């Protein structure tokens, strides 16, 4: 309902022409409001009107001195319009007033528990916007988020409100909430899922375990969106289903390392391939037929998919080629923002072959009108550099260097100097290009550049004469820069004698060149020249008198440094001190610096930039770029620039790494010791109650119910061939309600070098009553193993439910039964001997079950893949034989002797194998069939 008083007040203010008149009108209104607030009989309508006027006055920038008690009654009003004004005023004028916020909490709690979506939404908006939110409300907000009875709008606001809480204090997130929040990615409403995705991203960036789980769910959801496209029409934007949600999913996928789950990986590859192929079809960056909104959306999805392509390291040459061509069109497009973002994606793609095709478009962007694009293009060139294109890139940058802005010019010089050193094709090219850089760069060249050049030349005997001669030619030019003068002075002082016999390079001519340089250089360069003159006096006695004259000229100089050097050097040239000259002017030793200071400078700058952007760092792009190109070309990454002091170029080293040998089994074992130290599995190690019953059934049966709760039944069936196995899990909804967010997470407690486990398919994310879905799991025994993988099944049915159990993947499944007669069994038993024997006494707990799993001992031993052997005269004893087949460790012959009393209560299992550790594992599994 409109408030006439408020409307008239706003109209009056807008009609006023002067600040003084406006201020007088506002002061009069404030005085009237204060007088009315003193009235105890003030009705709700007037209070609402006066609070609205105060809020309007506050937005105009005038001070409003009112107590929160004048506003708080609006929060408890039954009508939503009054609450709206109250929350608006509290958020504007009291957001940083802790006392006022505390007094408002009871009303906020009532509204959070209200059945009115409008009231709940207003309370959520209020607590998310205040400066210091009451974190004790987090539990109520999470309840709203997870409750299936909450409306979609409330759940969206609850997700974003909790996100604001989490950003202020990460401890507000309880560990048991994480799984339930991640599961909400699978909700049907895209709006809720998009809001939840923002919250999950913040959580995943701070928790590696949550990141892996969220990435798997995001990958499945992305595949579902792209291939099934069961999306409400309101979320389809220019024929693309929920593009902004897709982008959030792609961002989530990039947070953890690439998944090792084959099913998830395959789904991701399909999804990314579809996005990139679709982007190729619509020609990103160059479409004029569609609107700018459509182009922006499609380009955003395409560029994020490129980042995931890099993250997953997808090996698809055709798709990569098309992606590079699409990026090229983006780089040549008219949209400045698109060009900038395309450069970011191009930098990420530099480790891949074929990215060099983008070199010319990137070079063209060095002349872009936007300095941000120019700076990013420079960064892109830095990552594109290699030993094949360095000469082209260096020449192009040198040509354009003088036209760059001063701050960009210095950055260009630093980056160019670094890549010139790292990818130099020859020492002569390095010297020529660096001297050109010193000349063109002028005063924007940092000291590290010329100092690094000096170090490299000093440490390489073969280039000293050439570098000195070339530097002398540059010094003869009319516009010699200070840094070039420093290099020339240093080289002539150290190596001038090596070219003194050449025409134009006689000692006197060298001295005259430096004297000409003296007149145009700055004082710091003159200090270097004086030192060079002293070394000339040591090397060339014929010009010593002229040098003494120079020193005498500056004995009374007003420049203290110039005067001090002249005095010291003049005294050294006196007859009584001349014997010290060879010692003082001795040749400089090789430098021992191992890494370029320019490389360190660039690394520090890169790290600080990433910190400012608050993004996850991409791992070792430059080094990976070098190594991949080296693998493709078959070249070693041996640095060109080396010398007596060792390498002066960052390199990967020339020595190959030694091949790793497979981890062996421990030599000493205990009865229950596993074959390998299990990996830490955290929460996954907490198995559901009574998981043993289904696992024990599967030890001796190839098909059974593995686990079941009130809502979901998990059946299992397996098939094995040699060292390869296939396990199929059947998930059946046995309830009368639909289940959502169904997922199966596998945890392998063994190293992948011992037992390889991977999913080949993913279950359906939702199950109607009586519906069945399946998940196919492949396994490979590479070495004998003791622990079975764990499956963790989660699903939503109002709340998050989970079950964890071990899969029936045991070493016996990879054993081929062997039938032996009594003579052969005894012979092989004796051949193995006690060195490979392990025995254990145990009781048959299976008899305590109403329906015992082990009804017949022969069936039990045969179900464990032992081939039964009959030995005459042996009662209450079973004999078994088999051959375990593994990929890496070969085959293991196994013999078993199972003894039991007449009541089938007390048992003894004795196993002999060619490796005692295998005997320990087999005896344990035999006893498990009776005792789990």
Handedness of CA 596, 597, 602, 603 (dihedral sign): positive
Write down the residue that tokens 């698809």 correspond to: 316
- Which residues, in sequence order, are CB contacts of 918 under 8 Å at separation 6+? 784, 811, 884, 892, 894
DSSP line for 854-905: -S-HHHHHHHTTPEEE--TT-TTEEEEEEEEE-SSS-EEEEEEEEEE-TTS-
Backbone angles phi, psi at 420, to 5 degrees: -60, -40
3-class SS of residue 370: coil
Contact criterion met (CB below 8 Å) for 704 and 715: yes
Angle between helices 427-441 and 390-401 (to 10 degrees): 20
Distance between CA atoms of residues 159 and 124, nearest Å: 10
Total length of the chain: 932
- C-alpha distances (whole Å) from 568 to each of 94, 571, 578, 863 are 73, 5, 12, 97
Question: How many other β-carbons are positioned within 10 Å of the β-carbon of residue 661?
Answer: 6
Q: Is 804 helix (H, G, I), strand (E, B) or coil?
A: strand
Taking the C-alpha atoms of residue 331 and residue 162, their distance in angstroms, rounded to an integer, is: 39
What burial letters (b/e) apply to 747-760, b meaning 16+ CB within 10 Å?
bbbbbeebbbbbbe
Question: Binding-site residues, please?
Answer: 4-5, 45, 49-53
Q: Are 487 and 468 in contact (CB under 8 A)?
A: no
Please list the residues that pair with 804 across neighbouring strands.
792
Rounded Cα gap, residues 128 and 124, in angstroms: 6
Of 769, 773, 719, give the one whose Cα is nearest residue 744. 773
- For the four alpha carbons of 281, 287, 293 and 299, in that order, the dihedral sign comes to positive
Q: Cβ–Cβ contacts within 10 Å for residue 872, how many?
A: 5
Cα distance between residue 816 and residue 866, in whole Å? 8
Q: φ and ψ at 298, to 5 degrees?
A: -65, -40
Q: Residue 541 burial (CB < 10 Å; 0-12/13-18/19+)? A: exposed
Which tokens is 686 given? 């907490």
Q: Tell me which residue of 116, 31, 45 sits closest to 85, measured CA to CA.
A: 45
Spatial CB neighbours of 284, under 8 Å, sequence gap ≥ 6: 295, 298, 299, 302, 326, 329, 330, 338
Look at phi and psi of residue 612 and say left if phi exceeds 0, alpha if psi is from -120 to 50, else beta: alpha
The helix (run of H) or strand (run of E) holding residue 910 is strand 906-913
318: Cα separation from own chain's centroid:
26
């Amino acid at each position: 309902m409109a408030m006439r008083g408020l409307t008239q007040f706003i109209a009056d203010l807008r009609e006023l022409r002067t600040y003084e008149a406006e201020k007088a009108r506002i002061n009069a209104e404030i005085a009237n409001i204060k007088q009315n607030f003193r009235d105890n009989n003030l009705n709700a309508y007037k209070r609402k009107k006066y609070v609205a006027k105060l809020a309007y006055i506050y937005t105009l920038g005038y001070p409003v001195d009112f107590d929160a008690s004048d506003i708080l009654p609006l929060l408890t009003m039954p009508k939503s319009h009054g609450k709206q004004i109250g929350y608006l005023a509290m958020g504007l004028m009291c957001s940083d007033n802790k006392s006022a916020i505390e007094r408002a909490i009871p009303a906020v709690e009532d509204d959070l528990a209200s059945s009115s979506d409008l009231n709940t939404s207003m309370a959520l908006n209020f607590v998310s916007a205040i400066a210091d939110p009451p974190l004790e409300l987090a539990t109520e907000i999470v309840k709203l988020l997870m409750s299936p009875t909450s409306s979609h709008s409330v759940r969206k606001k609850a997700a974003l409100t909790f996100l604001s809480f989490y950003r202020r204090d990460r401890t507000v997130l309880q560990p048991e909430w994480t799984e339930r929040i991640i599961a909400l990615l699978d909700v049907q409403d895209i709006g809720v899922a998009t809001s939840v995705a923002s919250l999950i991203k913040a959580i995943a960036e701070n928790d590696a375990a949550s990141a892996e789980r969220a990435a798997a769910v995001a990958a499945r959801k992305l595949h579902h969106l792209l291939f099934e496209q069961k999306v409400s029409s309101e979320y389809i934007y220019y024929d693309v289903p929920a593009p902004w949600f897709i982008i959030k999913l792609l961002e989530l996928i990039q947070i953890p390392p690439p998944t090792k789950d084959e099913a998830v990986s395959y789904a991701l590859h399909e999804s990314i391939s579809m996005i990139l192929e679709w982007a190729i079809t619509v020609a990103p960056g160059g479409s004029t037929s569609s609107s700018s909104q459509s182009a922006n959306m499609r380009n955003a999805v395409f560029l994020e998919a490129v980042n995931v392509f890099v993250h997953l390291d997808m090996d698809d040459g055709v798709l990569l080629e098309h992606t590079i061509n699409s990026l090229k069109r983006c780089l040549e497009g008219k949209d400045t923002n698109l060009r900038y973002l395309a450069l970011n994606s191009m930098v990420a793609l530099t480790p891949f072959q074929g990215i060099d095709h983008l070199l010319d478009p990137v070079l063209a962007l060095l002349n872009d009108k936007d300095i941000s694009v120019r700076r990013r293009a420079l960064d892109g060139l830095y990552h594109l550099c290699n030993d094949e294109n360095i000469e082209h890139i260096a020449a192009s940058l040198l040509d354009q260097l003088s036209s760059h802005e001063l701050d960009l010019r210095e950055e260009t010089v630093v980056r160019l100097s670094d890549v010139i050193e790292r990818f130099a094709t020859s020492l002569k090219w390095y010297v020529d290009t660096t001297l050109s850089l010193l000349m063109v760069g002028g005063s924007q060249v940092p000291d590290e550049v010329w100092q690094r050049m000096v170090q490299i030349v000093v440490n390489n005997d073969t280039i000293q004469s050439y570098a000195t001669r070339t530097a002398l030619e540059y010094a003869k030019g009319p516009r010699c820069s200070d840094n070039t003068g420093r290099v020339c002075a240093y080289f002539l002082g150290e190596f001038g004698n090596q070219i003194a016999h050449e025409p134009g390079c006689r000692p006197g001519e060298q001295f005259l060149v430096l004297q000409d340089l003296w007149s145009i250089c700055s004082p710091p360069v003159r200090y270097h020249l004086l030192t060079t003159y002293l070394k000339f006096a040591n090397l060339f006695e014929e010009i010593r008198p002229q040098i003494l004259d120079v020193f005498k000229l500056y004995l009374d100089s007003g420049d203290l440094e110039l005067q001090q050097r002249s005095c010291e050097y003049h005294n050294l040239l006196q007859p009584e001190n001349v014997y010290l000259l060879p010692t003082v002017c001795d040749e400089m030793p090789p430098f021992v610096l191992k890494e370029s200071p320019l490389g360190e400078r660039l690394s520090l700058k890169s790290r600080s930039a990433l910190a400012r952007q608050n993004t996850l760092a991409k791992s070792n792009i430059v080094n990976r770029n070098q190594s991949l190109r080296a693998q493709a070309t078959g070249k070693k990454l041996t640095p060109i620039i080396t010398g007596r002091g060792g390498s002066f170029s960052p390199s990967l080293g020339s020595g190959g790494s030694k091949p790793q040998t497979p981890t062996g089994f421990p030599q000493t074992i205990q009865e229950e010791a596993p074959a390998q130290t299990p990996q830490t599995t955290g929460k996954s190690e907490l198995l559901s109650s009574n998981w043993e019953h289904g696992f024990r059934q599967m030890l001796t049966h190839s098909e059974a119910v593995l686990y079941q709760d009130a809502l979901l039944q998990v059946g299992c069936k397996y098939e094995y061939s040699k060292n390869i196995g296939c396990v199929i899990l059947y998930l059946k909804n046995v309830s009368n309600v639909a289940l959502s967010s169904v997922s199966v997470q596998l945890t392998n407690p063994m190293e992948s070098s011992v037992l390889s486990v991977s999913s080949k398919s993913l279950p359906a994310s939702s199950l109607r009553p009586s519906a069945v879905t399946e998940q196919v799991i492949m396994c490979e025994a590479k070495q004998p193993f003791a622990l079975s993988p764990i499956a963790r099944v989660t699903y939503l049915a109002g709340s998050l439910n989970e079950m964890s159990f071990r899969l029936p993947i045991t070493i016996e499944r990879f054993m081929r039964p062997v039938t032996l007669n009594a003579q052969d069994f005894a012979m092989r038993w004796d051949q193995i001997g006690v060195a490979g024997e392990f025995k254990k006494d145990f009781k048959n707990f299976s008899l305590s079950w109403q329906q015992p799993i082990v009804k017949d001992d022969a069936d039990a031993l045969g179900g464990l893949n032992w081939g039964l052997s009959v030995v005459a005269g042996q009662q209450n004893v079973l004999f078994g034989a088999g051959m375990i087949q593994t990929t890496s460790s070969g085959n293991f012959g196994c013999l078993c002797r199972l003894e039991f009393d007449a009541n089938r209560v007390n048992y003894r299992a004795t196993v002999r194998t060619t490796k005692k550790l295998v005997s320990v594992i087999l005896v344990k599994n035999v006893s498990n069939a009776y005792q789990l």
